[in-house]
Amino acid sequence: MPAETVLQRFLRYVVIDTQSKEDSESYPSTAKQLDLLKFLAKELKDLGVPQVAMDEYGYVMATIPSNVNKPVPVVGLIAHVDTSPEVTGANVKPQVINEYKGGDIVLPGDPSIVIKESENPSLKLALGKAIVTTDGTTLLGADDKAGVAAVMTAVQELMINPKIPHGEVKIGFTPDEEVGAGTKFFDIKKFGAQFAYTVDGDTPGELNKETFSANSCLITVEGRDIHPGTAKNVMVNSVRVISEIISRLPKDISPETTDGYEPYIHPCVLEGGVGKSSVKILFRDFKTEGLDKLKEIVDKVVPEVQAMFPKAKIDVKVTEQYRNMREGVEKDTRVADYLLEGAKRAGLEAEWKPIRGGTDGSRLTEMGLPTPNIFTGGANFHGRMEWVNVWGMQKAVETVLNTLQIWVEKSK
């Protein structure tokens, strides 16, 4: 197989629809994710990777043997193939702007969709460089196909250039990260890495060893539906009940009013009718104990609304999602220290930035595999204004290769 650029790989991957689905009873949540996973398994074999396997859950795992004569910790590289359920990932039509000259970008498929320079500070890093956008009718899929492309390009470099020293390297591609199930059946023991990195971030140079801790809260309201013409003193409109609950949540603790380390409560999915309604609410805080404080806010609101609608039945269910990876990463600082040095060697002003979200690395770290996160160069994930800096993807490849070499240098 001839050597390919990270851009060539990325453009090939994004046209494969891999959108995952909330509340699916299957795993992966959509069968179409397997299309790309099977494709990646074949590409790994075509690159000459000697150990490649895809299991019954769709996980693709591969092993690149060490090429040095000393013990080096086994390091894993991980990226997810699925795209967000929020916006369609079918019929993606990427456009490449070879030399971004600054200014707003009007997307050709829907001119009402504009990537605004004022809302995208990382566009400054793309001046004079190639960027890829959607046509405005779909998301792009840079989250996380930019990461997939970076990992595959790094694998290509390792396979064709034996002068790059590295220990044993494990490769992992996962489904369903966007619906919180990317590691549901991930077998850490079978994967075999002692440390790992997800390639699933955004701005070039930004590295992540802290994520939110996360819980989800599902509030279900059962009312009573009856013809509105005879509804007096009989109907219990669950829509009104759920609306009262949402309206009483604090507006200064929401995604649109917070940043940095600030926590939030986020009602994100609303469904129902007169007889039954539900709202899914996200609790996010970098301090795990802070999640209990967010729940206390809901626990105060619900009785107030229950008193207003005594005939309604209100149920609250909280589910644990993932936890801040920082504590697990800091148990052995090498995994973060070497990554930071690897990014600096790529010529970047590298820095640690907390993720106001989560990655597969959050759960993997909690499960015992320390897994900080590497940038991809992408931005505006989960929406039609998504774009990626090709230079950023290339720097992600360089950072991965540098970091693997540093593990060799630092090992005795």
Q: CA of 209: how far to CAs of 11, 325, 392, in Å?
A: 29, 6, 19
| Ordered domains of the chain (ranges, CATH) | 6-211+324-410 (3.40.630.10), 213-321 (3.30.70.360)
Name the amino acid, one letter, at 60: V
pLDDT in tens, 366-401: 999 999 999 999 999 999 999 999 999 999 999 999
pLDDT of residue 75: 98
Residue 35 is a catalytic residue: no
pLDDT in tens, 67-98: 999 999 999 999 999 999 999 999 999 999 99
pLDDT of residue 262: 96
Start-to-end C-alpha separation, the chain: 35
pLDDT-derived band at 357, boundaries 50, 70, 90: confident
Residue 315 is a catalytic residue: no
Whether the pLDDT of residue 166 is over 80: the answer is: yes
pLDDT-derived band at 205, boundaries 50, 70, 90: very high
Q: Which of 17, 82, 178, 386 is catalytic?
A: 82
pLDDT of residue 204: 97
pLDDT of residue 412: 84
pLDDT of residue 101: 96
Whether the pLDDT of residue 43 is over 80: the answer is: yes
Q: Which of 17, 143, 144, 177 is catalytic?
A: 177
Percent of the chain with pLDDT over 90: 96
pLDDT in tens, 268-318: 999 999 999 999 999 999 999 999 999 999 999 999 999 999 999 999 999
The residue-averaged pLDDT of 235-240 equals 97
Whether the pLDDT of residue 2 is over 80: the answer is: no
Whether the pLDDT of residue 1 is over 80: the answer is: no
pLDDT in tens, 93-146: 999 999 999 999 999 999 999 999 999 999 999 999 999 999 999 999 999 999
Percent of the chain with pLDDT over 70: 100
Whether the pLDDT of residue 358 is over 90: the answer is: no
pTM for this entry: 0.90
The residue-averaged pLDDT of 241-253 equals 97
Nearest to 137 by CA among 105, 104, 91, 97: 91
